[in-house]
């Protein structure tokens, strides 16, 4: 059996989030999301559109180190204004981080504590409200704990299924939280009332461990599968092409 790291397992789980998306803009925020999205594009999702992190759209698969080898093949130009146009059209799937997330997928990246005078000011709303109401959104949490997976988030930046449902079917028709990938497992919302469900645990992680590290009651099916292992070809791409320096391993806990 091939030996692989937790970070490589997370990269596979993240890549799988984009399977079947077809020709959409993928905006992966964070190192492992970038690695996972590039792996998806290099393998089973070749039609994904991606920038180099700034405005140029890059056709080929580059290392996440920012190395200019191989030479980038520029296929287009997507300044921020065009990103907004595109995201409002719905042809996008974003993977954002979450300092807090709750059972319905409400995300907080704005601040912790009282809004008027927060204990910790974070990024701000960024594009989260617009992203979540307009196109599929997934989340990446490299440090799964009960401080991140909380009963209630302090500020709702990206909206979850309960908030979307309250808006009614018309306003929420483009809302979809596809999946949450953490350093412990993969989570989806495929339950009758869209509560977060444990979809798989990464190899070496127990269901009990995930429960203990989650601050709300997860939906846990009777049999929880393991996150799939990388193929030899995927490992070669990760190690030789996309992340030879191992940046992904520095982001993930465990």
Q: In the complex, which residues of this chain contact other proteins (CB under 8 A)?
A: 54-56, 77, 79-81, 84, 87-88, 110-111, 115-130, 132-134, 155-159, 163-164, 166-167, 170-172, 174
In whole angstroms, how close is the CB of 66 to other proteins at the nearest point?
A: 12
Measured from the CB of residue 119, what is the shortest distance to other proteins in angstroms? Answer: 7
Cα–Cα dist 189/223, whole Å? 16
Instruction: Report residue 55 as tokens.
Output: 């405005």
**Is the backbone peptide bond immediately before 70 cis, with ω within 30 degrees of 0?**
yes
Residue whose pair of structure tokens reads 């908030």 in the numeric block: 163
- The encoded tokens of residue 45 equal 């999702």
Return the number of the residue (49 or 155) whose C-beta is nearest other proteins: 155
How near is the Cβ of 194 to other proteins at its closest, in Å? 14
Distance from C-alpha of 138 to C-alpha of 188, rounded to nearest angstrom:
9
CA–CA separation, 175 and 169 (whole Å): 10
Whose Cβ is closer to other proteins: residue 65's or residue 121's? Answer: 121
CB 84 within 8 A of CB 27: no
Beta carbon of residue 19, minimum distance to other proteins (angstroms, whole number):
27
């Amino acid at each position: 059996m091939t030996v692989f790291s937790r970070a490589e397992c997370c990269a596979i789980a993240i890549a799988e989030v984009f399977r079947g998306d077809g020709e959409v803009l993928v905006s992966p925020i964070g190192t492992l999301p970038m690695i996972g999205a590039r792996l998806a594009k290099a393998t089973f999702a070749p039609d994904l559109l991606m920038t180099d992190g700034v405005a140029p759209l890059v056709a080929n698969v580059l290392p996440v180190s920012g190395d200019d080898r191989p030479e980038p093949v520029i296929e287009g130009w997507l300044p921020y204004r065009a990103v907004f146009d595109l995201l409002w059209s719905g042809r996008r799937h974003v993977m954002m981080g979450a300092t807090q997330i709750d059972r319905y997928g409400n995300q907080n990246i704005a601040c912790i504590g009282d809004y008027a005078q927060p204990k910790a000011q974070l990024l701000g709303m960024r594009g989260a409200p617009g992203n979540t109401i307009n196109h599929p959104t997934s989340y990446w949490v490299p440090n799964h704990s009960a401080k991140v997976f909380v009963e209630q988030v302090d500020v709702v930046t990206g909206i979850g299924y309960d908030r979307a449902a309250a808006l009614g079917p018309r306003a929420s028709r483009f809302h979809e939280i596809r999946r949450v990938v953490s350093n412990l497992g993969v989570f989806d919302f495929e339950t009758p009332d869209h509560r977060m469900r444990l979809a798989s645990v990464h190899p070496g992680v127990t269901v009990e461990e995930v429960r203990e590290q989650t601050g709300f009651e997860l939906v846990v099916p009777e049999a929880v599968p393991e996150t799939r292992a990388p193929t030899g070809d995927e490992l070669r791409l990760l190690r030789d092409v996309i992340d030879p320096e191992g940046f992904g391993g520095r982001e993930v806990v465990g």
